[in-house]
Amino acid sequence: MEYQKNSKYFAQVAGSLEPIAALELQELGAADIQTTYRGISFSADEATLYRILYQTRICSRILAPLISFQCHSEKYLHKSAMQIDWTQFLDLKEKFAINSNVSNSKISNSMYAGQVLKDAICDVFREKFDARPDFDAKEADVRFNLHISENWANISIDLGGEPLHKRGYRKETVKAPLQETLAAAIIRLTLWNGEQMLYDPFCGSGTILTEAIMHYCRIPAGFLRKEWGIFRMPGFNKELWDKLKAAADNNIRDLPEGLLAGSDIAGVCVHASIGNCNTFSQGRNVVIKRLDYREIDELENMVIATNPPFGKRLYEGEAEKILKELGDFLKQKCQGSRAYVLVGSKELAFALRLRYKMNKLLKNGDIESRLLRIDLY
C-alpha cells in the first residue's frame, strides 16, 4: 500500500483553513508538508501520525493512501480497486462506508463512483469468502475515501473513522453552530494565551468557549473519542498509541476562574453552552449568562471572540442592524480589548463601521465569512 511504502498521509481540511492546518501539522511534527485545495499532504513516522490523529484541532480527516492511478472509466476504477486485498482492513462482520468526491474528470458522478468502489470491495470479499460485509454510511466500522480529480484517482482509508470535528462534547445544539474545527481556528487566530479573559457575547451553543477550554487546558481534540479507524489498521501499535495518549493527557491543566465567559440572549443557547462546556470538568469555571449583549456594562481589557448572527439561518434581514449596533457597543464599552468578530460577508464587515487590523476569509460551509480583528482604544 502507498502509505506503507512512503509514510505519506493526507489531511482533509475545510476550505480556507489550509494554512492554519499546515502550521498545526508542522507543530505536531509532520514533514514534507504540501498544501493543496482543502487538503495537505505530509509525511510522518508512526509516533507523529498517532500524535496528529489524537491532537489535531483543525483537520477534518486524516487519510492513509492505499492506491492512486490514472482513471478514465468506471470499469478501470473497478479493476484497479479489485487489486487491493480489502480483507486486511475489514472483517466480514464489520460495516463499511465510502466518502467519494469527483471533480473535472470523465467519471463525473461522485455517488456512482462510490458505488463502483463499493462493488469492487464486495467482489474481493465474495471471491475469498463467498460473502460480503455490509455497507452502512452512518454507522460504519471502517471508512474508505475515494477522490478523483483531473482523472487521477486516490483511494484511501480514513484513520480517524468519524470526522475529527466530532469531538464528543456537543450534547445539545442550536440553529447555526460553528463547526468545531472553525472555532478552533478562530481561537488560534486570536493568539489568546490566558493572560486576559476571553468573552463571547453571542455564545450560541458555546463552540468558541468549549474550544477555548480545550485550547487553554491542553485537552487533546480526541480526548473523548473511543473509536479510531487506525485501531483496525494492520500493524497498529496499541502500546505506542497508549503511551503517546498518556503523555498528551498528562499535559492537561486546570482552568482558573475568571478566564472564560460568555452570554447569549436565548435561554436555550445558554443551556446548550453550559452543557457543552461542562462536558469537561474545567467547564465549571466558565461563567455563562442569559443576557442581551447591549445590557453588558463593559467588556474592557479582554479578548472578545464571537460570531454574531449572519442573517442566513437566523435573524434574516437583521444582521446589518445587529452589526451596526455591535460596532457602537465595541467602540463605547470595550476599551483596551481586542475583538475578533466572525461576520457572514464583506458587506457585513462594513456594517460594523470600525477599522480592522485583520480581515481573514474563513469559509463557514458555503458562506464566505470573515474574521475581523478590531483593536479598541
Ligand X SMILES: C[S@@+](CC[C@H](N)C(=O)[O-])C[C@H]1O[C@@H](n2cnc3c(N)ncnc32)[C@H](O)[C@@H]1O
The residues that touch ligand X, with contacts defined as CB under 6 A, are: 174, 176-178, 201-202, 204-205, 207-208, 264-266, 269, 292-294, 307-309, 314
Q: Could you give the CA distance from residue 34 to residue 220 in angstroms, rounded to a whole number? A: 24
If DSSP states are collapsed to H, E and C, what string results for 322-336? HHHHHHHHHHHHCCC
The nearest distance, CB 317 to ligand X, in angstroms, is: 13
Q: Which of 140, 144, 147, 153 is nearest to 86 (CA)?
A: 144
The nearest distance, CB 367 to ligand X, in angstroms, is: 11
Task: Please name the residues in contact with 247: beta carbons below 8 A apart, sequence gap of 6 or more.
Answer: none
Q: Please say which residue, 283 or 308, places its beta carbon nearer to ligand X.
A: 308
Q: Please say which residue, 204 or 220, places its beta carbon nearer to ligand X.
A: 204
CB of 255 closer than 8 Å to CB of 281:
no
Burial, 2: exposed, middle or buried (Cβ in 10 Å; 0-12, 13-18, 19+)?
Answer: middle
The nearest distance, CB 295 to ligand X, in angstroms, is: 8
Instruction: Return the H-helix or E-strand segment holding 273.
Output: helix 267-277
Q: Please say which residue, 44 or 214, places its beta carbon nearer to ligand X.
A: 214
Q: Which residues partner with 264 through β-bridges?
A: 290
The cell for 277 is: 462546556
Q: Could you give the CA distance from residue 204 to residue 197 in angstroms, rounded to a whole number? A: 18
The nearest distance, CB 368 to ligand X, in angstroms, is: 15
Region of 51 (left: φ > 0; alpha: ψ -120 to 50; beta: rest) is alpha
Geometric angle at alpha carbon 56, from 259 and 142, rounded to 5°: 135
Q: Please say which residue, 44 or 319, places its beta carbon nearer to ligand X.
A: 319
Q: Please say which residue, 12 or 364, places its beta carbon nearer to ligand X.
A: 364
The cell for 107 is: 467519471
Length, in residues, of the chain: 377
The nearest distance, CB 350 to ligand X, in angstroms, is: 19
A 10 A CB-CB count for 250 gives 8
Q: Please say which residue, 233 or 341, places its beta carbon nearer to ligand X.
A: 341
The nearest distance, CB 192 to ligand X, in angstroms, is: 16
CB of 360 closer than 8 Å to CB of 328:
no
- Strand 260-264 vs strand 142-149: parallel, antiparallel, or unpaired? unpaired
Q: Please say which residue, 20 or 146, places its beta carbon nearer to ligand X.
A: 20
The nearest distance, CB 144 to ligand X, in angstroms, is: 30
Q: Which of 326, 290, 331 is nearest to 310 (CA)?
A: 326
Q: Which of 184, 187, 145 is nearest to 166 (CA)?
A: 184
The nearest distance, CB 203 to ligand X, in angstroms, is: 6
Q: Please say which residue, 52 or 261, places its beta carbon nearer to ligand X.
A: 261
The nearest distance, CB 309 to ligand X, in angstroms, is: 5
Q: Please say which residue, 114 or 262, places its beta carbon nearer to ligand X.
A: 262
